[in-house]
Structure 1
Amino acid sequence: MFNQKQLEPVDYLAVGHVTLDITPQGLVPGGTVLYSALTARALGLRVGIVTTCDEAYPIPEFEGIAITGFPSEKTTTFENIYTPEGRIQVLHQTADQIQFQAVPEIWRQTPIVHLGPVAREVDPTLARSFSESTVCVTPQGFMRAWDMAGQVTASEWPEADFVLQNSTAAVLSIEDINGDEDRIEEFLRSIRVLAITEGEEGARIYWNGDVRRFPAPRVKEVDSTGAGDIFAACFFAKYFATRDPWIAGRFAVQLASCSVTRRGIDSIPTEYEITMASTEILDAEQRT
C-alpha cells in the first residue's frame, strides 16, 4: 500500500478513484471520493479513502482524512469540454480496479461505507463485503462507457440489481440516466432508499414506495462540480444519524445548493452552512 502510516478506525469510508481533472486552470484533484470525504469531514466524521492511482500523483493531504490503497500505473484523468451543443466528457486514462483486498482490516467494519466509482473501478462485489456497515452507493461511475478516443457516454448497468440489493441507500443524478423514469422504477425494485438529484430544481427522495420532492433554494451558480458528491455525503451521513430519508434529503439539498456558489474544493460546506441547514431541518419539522 502507498500509505504506510498507522491507520485508525474511521466513521465514513469512501471507495473509488481520486482523479486528476484537466481544467483551464490546469490539473486539479477530483473524484467523488475526494469531494464526499471532505464533506464528511466537515460534518465532523473521521474519514478514510481507499483508492488506487499512480504513486507519483500528489494526493492532497487533509487533516482528518486518511488515504490508502494500492499503486497503479496510471491515475484516472478526466477532461470536460464545453461546446454550444453541451458538455463532452473525455476519459484520458484510468487506474486499476479496486478490490476488497485493498481495504485495510481496520476499516472493514466502518459504520458508513460509500462506494463512489467514477469509471467502473469499484468491484461490484464490494457491495456485500461490508456485513457490519451501512453500504451506500453513488452509481454514476457504474453507468459510464467510453470509446477509443475516451469520449464518455451513458451506458447500461448490468450489476444494478446486485449492487442495489446489497446497499442501504443510493444517490444518482437524473442526468446519469438521461431522464429515463423507467430506470428509476427499475432501481426501486432493488433498493428502499433512493435519492434523485435534479440540479437547480433540488431532489426527490424515494422511500418504501413513497416519494417527496425537496426544492433547492435559488442561488447564483458559479460551479456545480462536486455538488452531487457533496449532496451524497450529506445525505448518507444524515440518514445514518437519523434513519429518516426526508430529513436527510432536506439537509443535503440545502448544503449542495450552497456548494455551487464556489469553485472546486472551496465548495465544501462551511461550519456556518452546516449549522444553518440543521436549523432549517428543525424549523421544517416544527412546522409539520
Structure 2
Amino acid sequence: MTRDLLPDGAFAPGGTALYAALTAHRLGRRVGVVSACAAIPPDWSADIAVAFAPAMNAPVFENRYTSQGRVQFLHADSGVLTLDDVPPAWRSARIVHLAPILAETPERLVDAFPNALLGMTPQGMMRAWKGSLPAQIAYRPWSPPPQVLERIGVLVMSIEDLQGDEEQARTYARHCPLVALTRGAAGATLFIDGHPHHIDACPAIERDPTGAGDVFAAALLVRLDETGDPLEAAHFAACIAARSVEDVGPGAIPYRAEVER
C-alpha cells in the first residue's frame, strides 16, 4: 500500500493492494494483505488482515492527471518483500495477487505459492526514475523469462502501463495462459492462450479512475476462481471496475449484492 500525495498537500492511502483487497472483501472473500507499513483508510474493514513488513515504509506517490494521461512522481522509495514477510498460515491461500508498486515483489515469489491461482498486476515492474527524489516516474519495459510468465495464471495491466505497446501484451500472452489488457472506457482485451477476445466496458460516469485496474484484477481473480470461465469473469470484472470509478476513492467499490442487482 502507498501514501498518495494530494494537491492540497495532504496524504491519502492508496496502492494496488488497498483497492484489490477491498474489492475481494466486498465480493465475500477472506483477505490478507502483506505490505510495507502504511496508514489504514477510514473505510477499511476490520475483517481484512494486514501483515506489515516492519523494516519497510510505504512509498509516497503523487498522481497528476493530464489530457495525455496520468503523470506520476515518486517522493519516497520503499524496499523488497520476501516470503518471510508472509504469515505461514497465509502461504496456502487459494488466490494470491502479486501487486508490485516499485518491483517490491521479486519475480521469484511466483514459485512460492504452487497451489494458488496466482495473479499479478505488473505495473510496478515497469517503473523507473533517475536522480534524487522527488522524481518523475518513467516507463521501463518488463521482460521476465518465459518460466515466470508460465507460472502466473492471470496477468493484468493497462494499455497505459505499456505506453500503448500492445505488442508487449501479446508477447506476455505467448507464455502466460490468461492476460488482460485494460483500456478504460474502451473496454479490455482478454488473451486466452494467446487468442484475443474483446471485453466491452460497462457504462459509467467517471469521477475518479484511480484504482480501476486494480479493482478489475481482483474481481477477475475472484470470479475466475468461482466459475473457471475467463470470459464470464472478465465481464464481471468490467462491471465492478466501471462502478468503482463513479465516486472518489475506494468507497465506490461495490459489494456483492450491488453487483448482482
TM-score bracket, shorter-length normalisation: over 0.9
Q: Give distance in 1, aligned partners of 2:61 and 2:186.
A: 26
Q: Computing the radius of gyration over CA atoms, which structure comes out larger, 1 or 2? A: 1
Match of 2:110 in 1: 127
Alpha carbons of structure 1 residues 30 and 215: separation in structure 2 relative to 1, 3 Å: same
User: Structure 1 counterpart of 2:20, which letter?
Assistant: S
Residue in structure 2 matched with residue 161 of structure 1 by the alignment: 146
2:244 touches 2:252 (CA, 8 Å); kept in 1? yes
Most deviating of 195-204 and 208-217: 208-217
Q: Which residue of 2 aligns with 1:212?
A: 197
User: Which among 85, 98, 105 is matched to residue 102 of structure 1?
Assistant: 85
Cα offsets for 1:45-100 (capped at 9, x unmatched): 000001122xxx43345222000032235321100134565532101112221011
Which aligned pairs between 1:125-274 and structure 2 lie closer than 5 A? Answer: 125-148=108-131, 149-159=134-144, 161-274=146-259
CA–CA distance in 2 between the matches of 1:252 and 1:221? Answer: 16
Say yes or no: does 1:89 pair with 2:72: yes
In structure 1, distance between residues paired with 2:101 and 2:175: 22
Matched with 2:40 is 59
- 2:130 corresponds to 1:118: no
- Sort the Cα spacing of 1:238 and 1:100 in 2 relative to 1 into closer, same or farther, 3 A: same
Q: Distance in 2 between matches of 1:265 and 1:179?
A: 26
**2:90, 2:244 → 1: CA distance?**
29
Within 1, Cα distance between the matches of 2:247 and 2:198? 25
- Gaps of at least 5 residues in structure 2 are none
CA distance in 1, matches of 2:193, 2:51: 36
Find the aligned partners of 1:226 and 1:83 in 2 and give their Cα distance: 17
| Distance across 1 between alignment mates of 2:234 and 2:16 | 19
Question: Which letter maps to 1:151?
Answer: Q
Partner of 1:39: 23
Contact conserved, 2:159 with 2:181, CA < 8 A, in 1? yes
1:123 CA drift (Å): 1.5
Q: Give the structure-2-normalised TM-score.
A: 0.92
Please report the RMSD computed on the Cα atoms of aligned residues, expressed in angstroms.
1.7
Q: 1:29 aligns with which of 7, 10, 13?
A: 13
Moved more, 166-175 or 67-76: 67-76
Partners of 2:174 and 2:193 within 8 A in 1? no
Could you tell me how far apart the structure 2 residues matched to 1:183 and 1:262 are?
32
AA of the residue aligned to 1:33 = A
**Shift of the alpha carbon at 1:124?**
1.2
Q: CA deviation at 1:162?
A: 4.0
State the percentage of identical aligned residues. Answer: 38
Aligned partner letter, 1:260 = V
1:238 and 1:248 in contact (8 A); partners too: yes
Distance of 1:74 and 1:138 partners within structure 2: 21
TM-score (norm 1): 0.84
